[in-house]
Amino acid sequence: MHVDVLVAEIGSTTTLVNAFQNIDGQDPVLWGQGQAPTSVLEGDVRVGLRGAIGDLCRKKGVESLEYRDMLATSSAAGGLKMTVHGLVYDMTVRAAREAALGAGAIIHMVSAGKLRRTDLEKIREIQPNLIMLAGGVDHGERDTALDNAEALCSLGLSIPVIYGGNIDNQDEIRLIFRDSTMPLYMVENVYPRIDDLNVEPARRVIQAAFEDHIIQAPGMEHVRDMVGGPIIPTPGAVMECAKLLHGAIGDLMVLDVGGATTDLHSVTAGSEEISRISISPEPFAKRTVEGDLGVYVNMHNLVDLIGQDKLASELGFPPEEAMATYKFIPKTEKELQFVERLTLEAVLQATERHAGHIRYIYGPSGRSTLAEGKDLTQVKYIIGTGGALTRLPHRVEMMEAIAKHNETGLFLFPPETAAILVDNDYIMASLGVLSKQYPDAALKLLQKSLHIFP
């Protein structure tokens, strides 16, 4: 059997493949899906990839599969690990962090100011896939970024470094890294002027650097030989998909509740009214990842957030009864009830952490109203993807609960009028990487999965 495009999602635990047909026509279709356990522990992720393709063939009743193009996303072996280092935490460090998260990275360390010996030792222990170095607005402070560049070079590592700081430092930075074992990528300043975030150029370079050095999981270097198009971090692919959809339907947010983390992506400029009272800039496309809000790996954290007694009262049975048998996918009625309640808590907590809020400041002239954080009040669509929010029976009700969770009215949450959409085919990550080469087909396939038709 021959298909047009095969997209592989190589995750930490599961490898998925999605096969697409008629990709150049007016009616592209999802031909089939297959999955298998990711084979990092076997020493070669290609084993899991072949298993997923085999599963697809069995489901479709074909002996073998050929494809014109193969694309991939990856979060195997912990995904894209990054450390971020800047000058002032609320300015250049924050801008660099936003760029890294939006590109699909998992941030393992953030530092402001000059790197100390303890910071360098921590970087050595983390062994990140990429290091982001920033610092100083354009034509502003120079020394901190230069000192940090020298310090990073002293580590003698071969980890790629992305420099996105003061443009006046670029020539000096090139000289510092010229004889280093650390590959250097230059990008526009992520914080070129006060209150000006410039994160999109850095995001593109981060994804390019990730693909150039895609060796963080055994066998990934061989997958690069198989893939004819880009390989990007899976969360970054979801962000690409969200931005593509924004161009078609307007302001939106995407929730992805997983076994280990909950990711939230929002693509919105917010309202003019809130922007006038905001105390700091926010990126147009923002991602947050909550490492303690997973419905399997981190279920104990969610149980603690809800409260044992409260959870038992809501469920009608002790949560331990479900926790004793729950193995990632709920199979019994009690497990299903338990997982749905954890998913609801993850949705509410992740939205609360992602969204901005109103603050009241009292001074000599009376009360002033300020806004801090991401404004979601103009969001028209709340979209659910990932296993929990595409497969659980009450997934729509969980997302509808977001607007009702704003009892104080101080959170900059989406309004109750926001429509709820579900990625029914569970393909947003695949379509994000597909959009790099086939944007029109990716948008049509996404509209089908969400049941939105032009």
Tell me whether residue 245 is exposed, middle or buried, using C-beta atoms within 10 angstroms of its C-beta: 0 to 12, 13 to 18, 19 or more. Answer: buried
CA–CA dist 75, 433 (Å, integer):
13
The number of helix segments (H) and strand segments (E) in the chain equals 17, 17
Structure tokens that stand for 164 in this block: 């996105």
Q: Could you state, in order of their start, the residue ranges of all structural domains in the chain?
A: 2-77+216-229, 80-212, 233-423
Q: Which of 17, 20, 16, 26 is nearest to 68 (CA)?
A: 20
Residues of the chain falling short of pLDDT 70: 12, 38-43, 76-79, 211, 213-222, 224-225, 453-454
CATH, domain 2-77+216-229, list 2.40.50.140, 3.30.420.40, 3.30.590.20, 3.40.50.20: 3.30.420.40
Domains 2-77+216-229 and 80-212 share a fold: no
> What is the pairing mode between strands 29-37 and 14-21?
antiparallel
Measured CA angle at 400 (ends 396, 403), to 5 deg = 165
- Amino acid at site 131: I
For residue 222, which phi and psi values (nearest 5 degrees)?
-80, -30
Position 78 scores a pLDDT of 59
Structure tokens that stand for 204 in this block: 């593109």
Q: Which of 409, 307, 419, 394 is nearest to 358 (CA)?
A: 409
Structure tokens that stand for 367 in this block: 């009360």
Position 194 scores a pLDDT of 85
Residues in the chain: 454
What element of type H or E holds 100?
helix 94-102
Position 222 scores a pLDDT of 66
Q: Are 167 and 137 in contact (CB under 8 A)?
A: no
CATH, domain 80-212, list 3.40.720.10, 3.40.190.10, 3.30.70.1140, 3.40.50.280: 3.40.50.280
Measured CA angle at 319 (ends 314, 321), to 5 deg = 130
